[in-house]
Structure 1
């Protein structure tokens, strides 16, 4: 059962209480990073404010065990949940409404086992301005969805540099392999470069690592400005990411002033490199996205990384943190190791940037 589990973690997140279902539904794209379709979305509320948000394909929710979803919800620390069922065809279907009542009953029981209460359930046809919602239990409450782009959380996401996608598939395209034939063709070049780098590393490990980190920073800026990389540069980067000291140093770029450029490079490598090197780029991308509060991109990147390497320790650790609703400020502390390693290598990293505080 694949669950998108995120928390509204924007650094400029406003103090906004959701007192209207139409406003809460409108905020979902800003939190998930895309407009949910055919979905069950579970939202935790803490003193009226949105906490953890979990999304599950509606087909899976209707035919599956909801205990894992409830377990993830319990990690949020909230005791009150709201369910939003997104179904374009079923929102006005009486028979479907009964199915959704049964779904909410099952969800209520699963949450209750963890001491949580499902305080409301809403069905909505589409998550956009003018979409219509009504309560699942037939209470008579109904209304229009407010404009998602006018949501305070959407404004906060834009301030944080997050892009909002029309659908989940558009977000997945950020990390999808662009050309499998080209990726496969890179394997000989990577292996050849690995032999050359091994000789350089044996002669001067710190010098080799320093050159790799400096090259990654420079190429990140090049890619961010619209430049492309040839097979030689891609092979060199793939080999550099297999060096633990280099890779751990590069995690620090996620909290530096050059974070956007580095993230552009990791995304390019994720779409271009073959396995197993691709996994390292995906984890760097996930860490960068997580550090700036983009849970959806972090989650998709970790999912892909663990498919390629189920035993990847950093990917597993970050995935556990994300599923446990650990906030970005805690994850950013891991970057301290990168700055320490950079000092040992003699590399000057971009200075740490300040992250905004939550408005009060």
Structure 2
């Protein structure tokens, strides 16, 4: 994810650390965070579990960071226990030394590394190399980045598990009911023969009807969810529906994709997660896009579009650079004779989560 705010500066560790929850979308705990810096601006921000980072993760973190080719980076270690533990401080120094070496091999300078006990008002940070510098963490709720997140319509979560719950499978009974309807739909489609352009057009129109209804306050039924979800494995249908991310009903579409992600069985769930990720990414919500792509790739490791979006997100590619896929959706819709909702800018609306 990439975030740039003119009011925000990187030369105060207390302010930088306080801004991390707004960037990540949740308050990180027991984490290694690498903040890319280029031209004095905040670039891509990577987070990994600290338990993993103590082994061989320095190289992998540096490799991912290098995709965006930043000139420099800042490391932040969040460790409530380790911040007060001399032995843990030794581990932190070894980790930072390994990270510094891996980054240097990729022509990235590690400007500084900080250890913080908690990212909250009253938290304390100190430099990881024992230089003696340290101080309080600014109030994360008062961070300019938090204010910007609220204005953009992004929700901030207390912990990463709360963000992951947005796309977690829902009520088992409902999921089973949707799966049963999908099985019937698949059998019917097989009996009807190969997918055609006319069928794809009808499938897209069904989804558009559900989006419009959701925008008007009517939730889709289980049968409707299955009817919309079943054809998402048709690339023409999925790629056309990507256009809704920049359309007048973008907020309702994103809510529909999140509902599908919570109810569809594999492999259809991965397609809904990709649509959700693209919608979130398009409006600058990197945290939600990230957890959706992580879940999609966990269920379908070879999914091409999920892999491409994940690579773009991890490398800090800005949202406006990936919105071209939405333009492709409008072109596909025109070819099939489907009328999509009109385009809009970055208008705010109710979003998933």
Q: TM-score, normalised by structure 1?
A: 0.90
What's 1:73 paired with?
65
Out of 44, 47, 55, the position equivalent to 1:63 is 55
Q: Deviations over 1:249-293 (max 9, x none)?
A: 101111112111101000000001111111110110111111111
- 2:171 maps to 1:179: yes
Task: Pick the aligned partner of 1:277 from 265, 268, 276.
Answer: 268
CA distance in 1 between partners of 2:66 and 2:235 (Å): 35
Equivalent residue for 2:328, pick from 320, 337, 343: 337
Q: How far did 1:354 drift?
A: 2.0
- Residue in 2 that maps onto 1:120: 112
CA distance in 2, matches of 1:257, 1:200: 34
Note the C-alpha offset of 1:344.
Answer: 1.9
Shifted more, 21-30 versus 210-219: the winner is 210-219
Which whole-Å CA distance do the structure 2 matches of 1:133 and 1:20 have between them? 11
Q: In the alignment, what sits opposite 1:93? A: 85
CA distance in structure 1 between the aligned counterparts of 2:112 and 2:34, rounded to whole angstroms? 10
* 1:157 positional shift: 1.4
The number of residues matched between the two structures is 347
* 1:243 to partner: Cα distance: 2.5
In the alignment, which residue of structure 2 is the partner of 1:295? 286
CA contact (8 A) 1:39 1:86 kept: yes
Cα distance in 2 between the residues matched to 1:324 and 1:81: 14
Change (3 A) 1:315 1:135: same
Deviates more, 1:337-346 or 1:168-177: 337-346
Q: Partners of 1:224 and 1:145 in 2: how far apart?
A: 41
**1:241·1:277 contact (CA, 8 Å) conserved in 2?**
yes
- Report if aligned partners of 2:178, 2:223 keep a CA contact under 8 Å in 1: no
Paired with 1:154 and 1:200, the residues of 2 have a C-alpha distance of 52
Farther off after superposition, 209-218 or 262-271: 209-218
Query: Is the CA contact 2:177–2:222 (under 8 Å) kept in the aligned structure 1?
Result: no
Tell me how far apart the structure 1 counterparts of residues 122 and 14 of structure 2 sit (CA, whole Å): 10
* Aligned-partner Cα distance in 2 for 1:198–1:243: 13
Deviations 1:131-155 (A, max 9, x none): 1111112222111111112211112
Unaligned residue ranges in structure 1 (runs of 5+)? 1-5
RMSD over aligned CA atoms reads 2.1
Measured at CA, do residues 273 and 120 of structure 1 come closer, stay the same or move farther in structure 2, by a change above 3 Å? same
Q: How big is the shift at 1:73?
A: 1.3
Q: Say if 2:239 and 2:325, in contact at 8 Å, map to a contact too.
A: no
Judge conservation of contact 1:183–1:274 (CA < 8 Å) in 2: yes
Alignment of 1:1-360 (within 5 A): 6-8=1-3, 13-14=5-6, 16-197=8-189, 205-223=196-214, 227-355=218-346
Distance 1:161 1:198 in 2: 42
SS where residue 99 of structure 2 aligns?
helix
Which is bigger in relative contact order (C-alpha 8 A, separation at least 6)? 1
TM-score when scaled to structure 2?
0.92
SS at match of 2:254: helix
Cα contact 2:167–2:261 (8 A) shared by 1:
yes
Partner of 2:351: none
Structure 2: unaligned runs, 5 residues or longer: 348-353
